[in-house]
């Protein structure tokens, strides 16, 4: 990063620290029932509430109807890989989880509870997640180191009866897919035919490979590249991967049919490059992009600096370029995905969120952009396009119902309306609180 | 179809490659199995002694396209104090990742047991790192059980 970039980052750090101190964190619990006097607590608390308890004791699924559970999720982390900071521990993860919870509330109307936990092993993590299941309608796993995150997600998806989601895997993969659908439309290519290079083999690209496959891409036409080069079935470290990262091992067996052994070989004739590796620039070389097929699609997703600057990728022949940044066109942003997916999942009291749900949501987001007219510089909606959230929520809900993963049924239009109204209400209450001065304006001197 | 056969001179390089992979795999299970820098040369010298040697058996698995995708190194040893007197020992056994879970391991082991018997062995054993649960499961599945323990400590 340039020194001016570092200065800017430092300025954001300072502001965030002051704001955190000023407000004492970012979220709080807000009642949703009227309280006009202490007598009302006979309804909300004892003796009345015992009646609600007895009903739920008879049928635990009623906890989704008679408590906040239907709209509540945990943002669960062990603090082992917080942002790009590494293993900073659960306490240091708390402000990040608070921020995530704020986004959940603001964009999805979801009551998200930040929950960093102190655990020593993955088994202990599983035990905690299982133990808190009765309190929540879903669990969002966050900022957990790889490959542990794969084990946790796979195990919890199997063993819990509420949706478990890991944004670094599914959220990012969903956003990539949404952008890719439209990039393929622009270039007139088909997902089942394209050669896809996934540069970086961390949580998001390993999940992306699986989600791309669920969307119709062929494993044989994909190549994953890590710090040692392209993965393939004969690579020297295969046994090590088998023991330490079976997810990566599995993909090494399924992908790279052409057995490319170098990055240069892999890039030759590729149609799509999805890079989720280390901050650039110059991590992706222009020559590699020059070796790609005509009308190449390049997603350079590292933050804060993409692996290659968009203009450089274009100079090298890329037709569609996306990054993770909001100040360039085509921001591949998982904030488009997770609030909506959980909105839809919670509204049908989902038992789980399958990969097909992610594909359906990505399609809907792509369709939304397409209806507005896609171009090389507009393949995916921006975060400010509010209508995309209820649309994506409706697509998620309908797919969850279709797959038999829902406790209650709904239709697309019904969920669209419900999601719109829940999200609008969430935003309206915040606006009202700000207007009344109960949430104070950010101090002007901090915003300079 | 994968063929299992005795290894010849022309297979040497390929067998060495596979045996080195196995030694590296062993390293994952115990720090005292860390491979030496000269492992490749060592393996080559050692494996050479198993070609055309009466008491030794070196088997390979060959794929349709002629690639060597599996290797098994074994020998017959005399048991000085116990009955039965002759023991066939499987020392190294490796199959390339993409050919695993297809029954090739069983094919190779069945062939090895058959040939070791022909060489006089009436008991078959296998040596592998104690922490290698994949091997434990494999041999247990085919009726093997643990007999001797080897305990280590650094001095």
Q: Which residues of A touch B (CB under 8 A)?
A: 233-234, 236, 238-240, 242-244, 249, 252-253
CA distance B69 to B17: 10
Inter-chain touch B24–A233, beta carbons under 8 Å: no
Whether residue A269 has pLDDT greater than 80: yes
Q: Provide the pLDDT for residue A9.
A: 79
- The string of pLDDT tens digits covering residues A174-189 is 999 999 999 999 999 9
**Cis before B84? omega within 30:** yes
Those residues whose C-beta lies under 8 Å from the C-beta of residue A298, and which sit 6 or more positions away, are A272, A273, A275, A284, A289, A292, A308, A313, A318, A320, A321, A322
Residue of chain A whose Cα is closest to the Cα of B28: A240
- The string of pLDDT tens digits covering residues A353-400 is 999 999 999 999 999 999 999 999 999 999 999 999 999 999 999 999
* Closest residue by Cα to residue A401 from A341, A357, A342, A340: A357
As a whole number, mean pLDDT of residues B50-64 equals 95
As a whole number, mean pLDDT of residues A39-61 equals 97
Q: Provide the pLDDT for residue A83.
A: 84
Q: Provide the pLDDT for residue A443.
A: 86
Q: Provide the pLDDT for residue A12.
A: 87
Inter-chain touch B97–A253, beta carbons under 8 Å: yes
Structural domains of chain B in order of their starting residue, each with its CATH number = 3-141 (3.40.630.30)
Residue B4: strand pairing partners: B61
As a whole number, mean pLDDT of residues A414-427 equals 97
Å between B149 CA and nearest CA of chain A: 24
Percent of chain B with pLDDT over 90: 99
Inter-chain touch B97–A236, beta carbons under 8 Å: no
Residues A231 and A305 in one domain: yes
Å between A62 CA and nearest CA of chain B: 44
As a whole number, mean pLDDT of residues A316-339 equals 96
Identify the active-site residue in A10, A44, A45, A440. Answer: A45
User: Please, are residues A99 and A140 in contact by the beta-carbon 8 Å criterion?
Assistant: no
What value does the mean pLDDT of chain A take? 95
* Length of chain B counted residue by residue: 155
Residues A121 and A199 in one domain: no
- The string of pLDDT tens digits covering residues A94-148 is 999 999 999 999 999 999 999 999 999 999 999 999 999 999 999 999 999 999 9
* Closest residue by Cα to residue B90 from B104, B111, B61: B111
Contacts of B96 in chain A (CB under 8 A): 233-234
Asked whether residue A11 is domain-assigned, the answer is no
CA distance A370 to B55: 72
Q: Provide the pLDDT for residue A1.
A: 45
Q: Say whether residue B98 is in contact with chain A using an 8 A CB cutoff.
A: yes
The domain boundary residue, chosen from A277, A295, A323:
A323
Whether residue A2 has pLDDT greater than 80: no
Asked whether residue A214 is domain-assigned, the answer is yes
Inter-chain touch A249–B25, beta carbons under 8 Å: no
Å between A239 CA and nearest CA of chain B: 6
Q: Provide the pLDDT for residue A355.
A: 96
ipTM of the modeled complex? 0.92
- Eight-state DSSP code of residue A443: P
- Domain holding A93, by residue range, is 42-162
Closest in A233, A234, A240 to B28, CB measured: A240
Residues A210 and A69 in one domain: no
CA distance B56 to B71: 13
Residue of chain A whose Cα is closest to the Cα of B20: A236
Asked whether residue A114 is domain-assigned, the answer is yes
As a whole number, mean pLDDT of residues B107-113 equals 97
Asked whether residue A136 is domain-assigned, the answer is yes
CA distance A73 to A166: 13
Locate the DSSP E strands across A200-258: 222-226, 229-230
Inter-chain touch A233–B96, beta carbons under 8 Å: yes
Residues A52 and A130 in one domain: yes
Å between B39 CA and nearest CA of chain A: 14
Residues A302 and A189 in one domain: yes
Contacts of A244 in chain B (CB under 8 A): 28
The domain boundary residue, chosen from A275, A305, A323:
A323
**What is the number of H-type helices and E-type strands within chain B?**
4, 5
Burial A337-370 (b: 16+ CB within 10 A, else e): bbbbbbbbbbbbbbbbbbbbbbbbbbbbbbbbbb
What's the CATH number where A113 sits?
3.40.50.10380
User: Please, are residues A389 and A342 in contact by the beta-carbon 8 Å criterion?
Assistant: no
Q: Say whether residue B65 is in contact with chain A using an 8 A CB cutoff.
A: no
Residues A179 and A151 in one domain: no
Q: Specify whether A435 is catalytic.
A: no
Residues A104 and A179 in one domain: no
- The string of pLDDT tens digits covering residues B1-42 is 899 999 999 999 999 999 999 999 999 999 999 999 999 999
Residues A93 and A187 in one domain: no
Residue A204 phi/psi, 5-degree rounding, is -70, -40
Q: Provide the pLDDT for residue A3.
A: 56
Inter-chain touch A253–B24, beta carbons under 8 Å: no
Percent of chain A with pLDDT over 90: 93
Q: Provide the pLDDT for residue A291.
A: 98
The domain boundary residue, chosen from A102, A135, A162:
A162
pLDDT band at A280 (very low <50, low <70, confident <90, very high): confident
Q: Specify whether A249 is catalytic.
A: no
Q: Which residue has the higher pLDDT, A389 or A4?
A: A389
Q: Provide the pLDDT for residue A85.
A: 84
CA distance A375 to A390: 23
């Amino acid at each position: 990063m340039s020194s001016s970039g570092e200065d800017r980052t430092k300025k954001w750090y300072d502001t965030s620290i002051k704001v955190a101190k000023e407000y004492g964190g970012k979220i709080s619990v807000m009642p949703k029932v009227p309280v006009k006097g202490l007598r009302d607590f006979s309804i909300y608390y004892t003796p009345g509430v015992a009646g609600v308890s007895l009903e739920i004791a008879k049928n635990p699924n009623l906890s989704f109807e008679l408590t906040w559970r239907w709209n509540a999720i945990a943002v669960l982390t062990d603090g082992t890989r917080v942002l790009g900071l590494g293993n900073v521990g659960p306490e240091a993860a708390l402000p990040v989880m608070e921020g995530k919870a704020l986004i959940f509330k603001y964009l999805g109307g979801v009551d998200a509870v930040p929950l960093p936990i102190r655990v020593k092993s993955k088994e202990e993590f599983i035990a905690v997640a299982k133990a808190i299941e009765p309190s929540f309608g879903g669990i969002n796993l966050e900022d957990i180191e790889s490959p542990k995150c794969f084990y946790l997600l796979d195990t919890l998806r199997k063993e819990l009866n509420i949706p478990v989601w890991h944004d670094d895997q599914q959220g990012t993969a969903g956003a990539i897919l949404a952008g890719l659908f439209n990039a393929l439309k622009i270039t007139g290519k088909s997902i089942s035919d394209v050669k896809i290079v996934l540069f970086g083999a961390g949580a998001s690209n390993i999940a992306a490979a699986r989600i791309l496959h669920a969307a119709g891409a062929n494993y044989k036409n994909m190549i994953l590249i890590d710090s040692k080069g392209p993965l393939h079935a004969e690579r020297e470290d295969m046994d090590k991967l088998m023991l330490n990262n079976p997810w990566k091992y599995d993909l090494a067996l399924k992908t790279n049919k052409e057995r490319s052994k170098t990055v240069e070989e892999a890039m030759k004739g590729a149609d799509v490059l999805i890079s989720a590796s280390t901050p650039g620039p110059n991590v992706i070389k222009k020559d590699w992009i020059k070796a790609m097929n005509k009308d190449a699609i390049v997603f350079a997703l590292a933050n804060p600096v993409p692996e290659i600057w968009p203009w450089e990728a274009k100079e090298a022949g890329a037709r569609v370029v996306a990054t993770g940044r909001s100040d360039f066109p085509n921001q591949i942003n998982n904030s488009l995905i997770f609030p909506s997916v959980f909105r839809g999942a919670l509204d049908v009291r989902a038992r789980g969120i399958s990969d097909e749900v992610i594909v359906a949501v990505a399609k809907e987001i792509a369709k939304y952009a397409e209806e507005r007219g896609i171009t090389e510089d507009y393949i995916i909606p921006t975060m400010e396009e509010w209508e995309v959230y209820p649309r994506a929520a409706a697509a998620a809900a309908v797919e969850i119902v279709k797959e038999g993963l829902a406790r209650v049924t709904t239709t697309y239009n019904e969920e669209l309306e419900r999601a719109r109204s829940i999200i609008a209400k969430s935003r309206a209450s915040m606006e009202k609180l700000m207007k009344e001065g109960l949430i104070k304006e950010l101090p002007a001197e901090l915003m300079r | 179809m994968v063929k299992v056969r005795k290894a010849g001179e022309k297979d040497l390089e390929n067998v060495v490659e596979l045996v080195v992979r196995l030694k590296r795999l062993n390293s994952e299970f115990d720090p005292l199995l860390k491979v030496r820098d000269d492992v490749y040369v060592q393996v080559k010298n050692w494996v050479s002694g198993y070609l055309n040697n009466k008491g030794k058996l070196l088997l390979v698995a060959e794929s349709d396209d002629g690639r060597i995708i599996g290797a098994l190194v074994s020998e017959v040893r005399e048991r000085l104090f116990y009955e039965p007197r002759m023991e066939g020992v499987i020392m190294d056994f490796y199959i390339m990742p993409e050919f695993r879970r297809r029954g090739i391991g069983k094919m190779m082991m069945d062939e090895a047991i058959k040939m070791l018997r022909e060489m006089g062995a009436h008991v078959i054993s296998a040596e592998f790192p104690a922490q290698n649960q994949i091997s434990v499961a494999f041999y247990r599945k085919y009726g093997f059980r643990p007999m001797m323990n080897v305990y280590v400590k650094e001095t």
